[in-house]
Amino acid sequence: MRTGFPARVQALRVRVPRAAMAIRWAERFMGASGVGGGRVLVCFLVCSRYAGRSGRRQTVFLAMFLMRGGVGRAGPILAGMQRQPFTALAAVYDAIMADVEYDHWADFVLTFARDGGLDGSGGALDLACGTGGFTRELRAAGLDVTGLDFSEEMLREARARLPGVPFVQGDLRSFALPERFSLVTCVFDSLNNLLTPEDLGAALGRARAHLRPGGLFAFDVNTRVGVRELWEGDAIEGLAPMADGGEVHYHWSHHHDAEADLGVVQAFCRVGELEFVETHRERGYDPADLEPLLAGAGFARWEIVEYPDYAPPEPDAPRVWVFAWAGNE
């Protein structure tokens, strides 16, 4: 029996950010009680108890709206807010990610690469490059870098940020470029967007096929614990200044879908009158999941470590970095 709110009501949690926790509690209660028609009423009662003053005001409005049968009318509006992953988000991604330490990540990767004998020649390929935050650091370090991503919207931002850097549209699981590279990278959970081991294995195979002999593939992934525990019931909210002088209000609520074993992010953003939601899903991968896939993709050897000290991962590490070498064939 389905015990949660219908999808349309689920989407409302991002319209009522401070009530998200309360709605989750309401869902748990409903799951236990099997209440059907009283869902909206329970939501109202619990939200008004736990959502704080502003959340209470919004939930009163919401509950009245729902009890008057407003869900039917709200559905198309909310459905209209839903966008495909990494499409609408592209325009606000850099503002929201302004504090990401791409420069430190690049030092981390390039130090490992240099210590392993790479001298910076032979070109670099930044997979799932997004808007080019990490690509820029590779470029700044003097590498001849190419970026690749699935999303044309993200690539548009990357091209504007780094004119002169080649950016190509492609899928991690199937891309084929004419060049081979000494260094291939893929950072910031990008490989967690691949939701099956088969898809991840295909992407590792593509990365391996684009390495020169003795080349290095460096990537990070969230582990199962990282996706399950860090994302359970978490939310981030903020206001970020944009390059054009405007600002983006974002509220991203995270939860773990235990049945599918996926982390799910409802990424709500508002810029002026424009509002949208993107739903992102991630699967966590542990070192034990990665090892057979790395072997199957044809890597000669690899190290799985934690950032920033290159230490072997603790069993509860939320994120690991992988350095996988192609053989010198």
Compare residues 171 and 289 and give the one whose CB is closer to ligand SAM.
171
Contact, 129 vs 147, CB < 8 A?
Answer: yes
Binding interface with ligand SAM (CB under 6 A): 86, 128-130, 133-134, 149-151, 154, 171-173, 187-190, 193
Q: What are phi and psi of 69, to 5 degrees?
A: 85, 20
Compare residues 74 and 103 and give the one whose CB is closer to ligand SAM.
103
Per DSSP (E only), the strands in the chain are: 82-83, 124-127, 145-149, 167-169, 181-186, 211-222, 235-241, 247-257, 262-271, 274-282, 301-305, 319-325
Taking the complex as a whole, the smallest distance from the CB of residue 189 to ligand SAM amounts, in Å, to 5
Q: Please, which contacts does 50-55 make with residues 24 or more away whose CB atoms are closer than 8 Å?
A: 50/19, 50/21, 50/22, 50/25, 51/16, 51/18, 51/19, 51/21, 51/22, 52/18, 54/18, 55/16, 55/17, 55/18, 55/19, 55/22
Compare residues 62 and 143 and give the one whose CB is closer to ligand SAM.
143
Taking the complex as a whole, the smallest distance from the CB of residue 162 to ligand SAM amounts, in Å, to 13
Taking the complex as a whole, the smallest distance from the CB of residue 244 to ligand SAM amounts, in Å, to 20
Compare residues 171 and 229 and give the one whose CB is closer to ligand SAM.
171
Here the tokens at position 96 are: 């929201």
Taking the complex as a whole, the smallest distance from the CB of residue 86 to ligand SAM amounts, in Å, to 4
As separate numbers, helices (DSSP H) first and strands (DSSP E) second, the chain gives 12, 12
Cα diameter, the chain? 70
Compare residues 77 and 140 and give the one whose CB is closer to ligand SAM.
140
> Which residue's C-beta sits nearest to ligand SAM?
130
State CA 48 to chain mean position distance.
31
Compare residues 3 and 87 and give the one whose CB is closer to ligand SAM.
87
Taking the complex as a whole, the smallest distance from the CB of residue 28 to ligand SAM amounts, in Å, to 29
Taking the complex as a whole, the smallest distance from the CB of residue 292 to ligand SAM amounts, in Å, to 21
